[in-house]
Amino acid sequence: MRNPQLNANGELTHLLTLEGLPPDVIRNILDTAEPFASIAEREVKKVPLLRGKAVFNLFFENSTRTRTTFEIAAKRLSADVINLNIGVSSTSKGETLLDTVDNLVAMNADMFVVRHAQSGAPHLIASHLNAHRRTHVHVVNAGDGRHAHPTQGLLDLYTIRHFKRDFTGLTVAIVGDVLHSRVARSLIHGLTTLGTPEVRVIGPRTLLPTRVEAMGVHVHTDMRTGLAGCDVVVMLRLQNERMKGALLPSAGEYFKHYGLTQEKLAVAKPDVIVMHPGPMNRGVEIDSAVADGAQSVILPQVTFGIAVRMAVMSIIAGN
Amino acid sequence: MSLADASGLPDAEAALAALADRMRGAVLHGAAFVGIYSGGAWLAERLAALVPGDHAVGFIDVSYYRDDYSKTGLKGGAKRTELPFDVAGASIVLVDDVLYTGRSVRAAINELFDFGRPERIELAVLVDRGGRELPIEADYVGARVAVARDLSVVLSKDPGGTLSLTVESAAGC
């Protein structure tokens, strides 16, 4: 079966996951994002690429940053953006996901940006559209369950390339709740596809997926060994709800062992960059001195995220 | 002086010299030269040195303003538009290698206006091959050529910086 993200010519028509995408497709997205980054400096912060197209933000799960940056990206491409407040809409009246989609297609939607708590929901929508020959309608996964968050992975890759130029000599550590993190999965697939020689995950065993080594990463449960010699450290948000289960003793205990402090970071390379997908829990996974420090590139990540999402939308809408 | 070689195309360096001659004394002393990537960008830099005056040089990539996006999509390789001067109130000479349908020039003018309201925009082209589909004409032309519709005229630059013109089958473009 063909990769449902690609059309018959091997061009990207939906973005569902970075897993299995050819390296050239990923590089093309990063290259395309680069000139988009400068559009914010213009008097008119828009280009007319998606003029007349309707982009529907379908967020079945809460998000402020991701939804806002998708909305800004679509608007900078001159698209019309419709935000659906799913919580109070038809879904709560019992309408199925695909019926919702069909109704929006009947309103001449050109693109869906989908976030859903269920892994695979964006894939289901894309397959449905493909099966019904609605190939002019495109789907972007804005995060599904524990599965994937490909635009976050791409903006992380863009940020790393911006500051480190090349992936082929890098040691990258991803720290924290890898088990529940779609951000970590997307980034790991992206990093390995682009030839990063050393990708590490660091965290307590209870927050690391079993057989995570099969993804091509090295596992560390100790910050000292895990951070040694790193070029890039990616901190993951510790979701508070995890504390309620038996996975962790307490936030204070977690910070003591896995919270990123200047002291722990000292074993990484002197020019290490520190990333975080947000929203941050200061004093839980990251110390304020690091979050606001010279090595932090957390705010540039947000800015780059807009350019990367513009690149994704303009590539898939044209294919 | 004949500019044409055996293929019917002019020598690019001779056409550039002719273009610079026509611009000399005619363009404003402070006009900015804005080259359309990629051929026009090389020409804008060369012309800024050849034409007397104080000419800021900028570069424009019209990929986001083209009218064939819905047909051909966004092909890779877009470059960053760089206009290192204030477009509002500026006198600008747009520079391109080949003037054909006029669609790239339309796109470039639209893009310039998203940076501000220029005082005036003129157009300088290395070669004019006719075939316009829009009401656009150049103010300064290096050479005029007649080329079959199914061929593209391509400007290239060798490592030493020397420009040359060739024709290619348009199928791949």
Residues 6+ apart with CB under 8 A from A181: A146, A236
Q: Cβ separation of A11 and B79 shorter than 8 Å?
A: no
Q: Cβ separation of B78 and A32 shorter than 8 Å?
A: yes
- Residues in chain A with CB shorter than 8 Å from the CB of B85 are none
Which value does ipTM take for this structure? 0.81
- pLDDT tens column, A34-54: 999 999 888 899 999 999 999
pLDDT at A143: 95
- pLDDT tens column, A279-318: 999 999 999 999 999 999 999 999 999 999 999 999 999 9
Chain B, 105-144: which have a CB under 8 Å from a chain A CB?
110-111, 113-116
Tokens standing for A295?
Answer: 């090595």
B65: pLDDT strictly greater than 70: yes
B59: pLDDT strictly greater than 70: yes
- pLDDT tens column, B129-159: 999 999 999 999 999 999 998 899 999 999 9
pLDDT at B173: 44
- pLDDT tens column, A117-156: 999 999 999 999 999 999 899 999 999 999 999 999 999 9
* Mean pLDDT value across chain B: 92
Edge-to-edge strands, sheet with B140-144: B57-60, B32-36, B91-99, B120-128, B140-144
- Residues in chain B with CB shorter than 8 Å from the CB of A44 are 113-115
A93: pLDDT strictly greater than 90: no
pLDDT at A91: 67
* Mean pLDDT value across chain A: 93
Q: Which of B70, B76, B88 sits opposite A32 (nearest CB)?
A: B76
Q: Which of A35, A48, A319 sits opposite B78 (nearest CB)?
A: A35
b/e sequence B52-91, b meaning 16+ C-beta within 10 Å? eeebbbbbbbbbbbbeebeeebbeeebeebebebebeebb
Q: Does A318 reach chain B within 8 Å, measured CB to CB?
A: yes
Residues 6+ apart with CB under 8 A from B158: B164
A16: pLDDT strictly greater than 60: yes
Q: Cβ separation of A28 and B76 shorter than 8 Å?
A: yes
Chain A, 221-250: which have a CB under 8 Å from a chain B CB?
none
B1: pLDDT strictly greater than 60: no
Q: Does B84 reach chain A within 8 Å, measured CB to CB?
A: no
B172: pLDDT strictly greater than 60: no
Size of interface A-B (CB pairs under 8 A): 47
Q: What is the pTM of this model?
A: 0.91
- Residues in chain A with CB shorter than 8 Å from the CB of B74 are 32, 49, 314-315, 318
DSSP B29: T
